[in-house]
Structure 1
Amino acid sequence: MSFEVIPAVDMRNGKCVQLVQGVPGSEMVSLDDPVAVAKDWVSQGAKTLHLIDLDGAIDGKRKNAPIIEKIVKECKPLGMKIQVGGGIRSFENAAELLNIGVDRVILSTAAINNPQLVKELADEFGSEHINVALDSKNGKVAIDGWKKESEFTAVEMGIKFEELGAGSILFTNIDSEGLLQGVNTAPTEELAKSVSIPVIASGGVTKLDDLIALKNTGAKAVVVGSALYIGKFTLPEAINIISEDL
């Protein structure tokens, strides 16, 4: 895959929000209609949508499932690929999403707690549909909506989940996430060099140069949230600068 800029549609209590470092109550953006937001990204040139149910990630309850289903129903016919995460804690949760047309499910806490789930899903649906999110805080993978730190590094987990059948890794540097202070490329580059499956970067993108820097790490895509929502740059500008940097 060529390098891709993927807009985030993070949902909490039925709204499209952007949190600072995933902390509830820290919303810097709150929009009433996530479906309209998703369709707007499509109109601006997105090829993939990144949908996260924050209620699911933080509280374990996938409150925004009906909204996600509506986005899938309205955006898939427009040619979109859709990846979904947040609160996917079981085989059944993942299967339900894949069966309604989601292209890639993102497993986080469930994968760390039960690595065999990744193998089971990859065997059933194909590796390309299974993504594992490795969210790094202070050098360790965080779980339970970033509330707990595990004892594992992202590189250790990335290698393990590739062996178990994950088709891609979503790597978020929590230390940079939502702060709009730029990216720290070293952890992303270390992970990208340690695995052969695609790494999707996330966290800290503030300016267009950050996109180039992440592309140069060997990552295959970047998820962008706050910078797009508050107008640091537009999605077409992001797509153009990546296309020009060949």
Structure 2
Amino acid sequence: MEFEVIPAVDMRGGKCVQLVQGVPGSEMVSLDDPVAVALDWVAQGAKTLHLIDLDGALDGKRVNAPIIEKIVSAGKKRGVIIQIGGGIRSFEDAAHLLKLGADRVILSTAALREPELVKRLADEFGSVHINVALDSKNGKVAIEGWKKISEFTAVAMGRKFEKLGAGTLLFTNIDTEGLMKGVDPEPTAELVKAVNIPVIASGGITTLRDILTIRATGACGVVVGSALYTGKFTYPEALNILKERQK
């Protein structure tokens, strides 16, 4: 699988935002039109979009559903892969998004609480459409919009969900996420080595070098949010650095 830089489109209250450490009220970026933002990333060369419904994740409210539907519809017309997470708490939630046209649903809290949900969805829709998010803080997986810390490690959960049928894993290092201070590649590399399914990384990307650092872990891609939105580098620059280092 070719390594990808995947732009994040995080939504809260109908706007495209970037939070610091996932804390409500810490918005460093707030843009009024998430659909336009998403399509702009596509125009710049993005082949995959990472959509997160923060209201769903933090409050269980799907106020961003109409926006998500518009992005999925527009993205599918352009052949873009779309993965969606945030507040997917049930089989019905996930099934709705997949039937809507999402390529991958991202399960987090629901997967930790009801692991068999992953198997049920994989059996019904195929493993390729099921992603499990492992958001790690101080070595343990966080749930409920990062408000609670479980007793499980990302490696243990990654192995478990691979057996249950997850097609990919999304690993977010909360310890570096949103701080704009660079990445810590060790936890990502550890998870990549522990499983046989693709791992997408997230958290802390600040420079173009950070992208190369994450690629070196063996991850299949990296989700980038704040660095792109605050102008640390452009999306075309991210694509170019990958091409240059492949020569």
CA contact (8 A) 1:9 1:34 kept: yes
State the one-letter code of the partner of 1:83: Q
C-alpha distance in structure 2 between counterparts of 1:73 and 1:218, whole Å? 32
2:107 is the counterpart of 1:103:
no
Match of 2:166 in 1: 166
Identical-residue share of aligned pairs (%): 76
Match of 1:139 in 2: 139
> When the two structures are aligned, how many residues end up with a matched partner?
246
C-alpha distance in structure 2 between counterparts of 1:15 and 1:224, whole Å? 18
Match of 1:223 in 2: 223
C-alpha distance in structure 1 between counterparts of 2:228 and 2:145, whole Å? 23
C-alpha distance in structure 2 between counterparts of 1:128 and 1:2, whole Å? 16
C-alpha distance in structure 1 between counterparts of 2:229 and 2:182, whole Å? 16
Match of 2:199 in 1: 199
Match of 1:20 in 2: 20
State the one-letter code of the partner of 1:45: G
Unaligned stretches of 5+ residues in structure 1: none
State the one-letter code of the partner of 2:57: A
State the one-letter code of the partner of 1:187: P
RMSD between aligned residues: 0.5
Match of 1:56 in 2: 56
**Offset at residue 60 of structure 1 (A):** 1.3
C-alpha distance in structure 1 between counterparts of 2:24 and 2:86, whole Å? 14
C-alpha distance in structure 2 between counterparts of 1:98 and 1:89, whole Å? 14
Match of 2:190 in 1: 190
Q: Give per-residue Cα distances to partners, 1:59-96, cap 9 Å, x unaligned.
A: 11222111000001111111100000000000000000
2:39 is the counterpart of 1:39:
yes
**Offset at residue 169 of structure 1 (A):** 0.3
State the one-letter code of the partner of 2:82: I
Q: Give per-residue Cα distances to partners, 1:188-229, cap 9 Å, x unaligned.
A: 000000001000000000000000000000100000000000
**Offset at residue 125 of structure 1 (A):** 0.2
2:84 is paired with a residue whose SS is: strand
Unaligned stretches of 5+ residues in structure 2: none
**Offset at residue 134 of structure 1 (A):** 0.2
CA contact (8 A) 1:62 1:86 kept: no
CA contact (8 A) 1:11 1:64 kept: yes
Match of 1:156 in 2: 156
C-alpha distance in structure 2 between counterparts of 1:177 and 1:24, whole Å? 14
C-alpha distance in structure 2 between counterparts of 1:236 and 1:194, whole Å? 32
C-alpha distance in structure 2 between counterparts of 1:236 and 1:120, whole Å? 39
1:245 is paired with a residue whose SS is: helix
State the one-letter code of the partner of 2:170: L
Q: Which runs of 4+ in 1 moved over 6 A?
A: none
C-alpha distance in structure 1 between counterparts of 2:239 and 2:222, whole Å? 11
C-alpha distance in structure 1 between counterparts of 2:62 and 2:181, whole Å? 30
C-alpha distance in structure 2 between counterparts of 1:9 and 1:199, whole Å? 19
Match of 1:3 in 2: 3
Q: Give per-residue Cα distances to partners, 1:155-180, cap 9 Å, x unaligned.
A: 00000000000000000000000000
C-alpha distance in structure 2 between counterparts of 1:65 and 1:82, whole Å? 14
2:91 is the counterpart of 1:91:
yes
CA contact (8 A) 1:122 1:129 kept: yes
CA contact (8 A) 1:88 1:107 kept: yes
C-alpha distance in structure 2 between counterparts of 1:159 and 1:244, whole Å? 34
Q: Give per-residue Cα distances to partners, 1:113-139, cap 9 Å, x unaligned.
A: 000000000000000000000000011
C-alpha distance in structure 2 between counterparts of 1:87 and 1:68, whole Å? 13
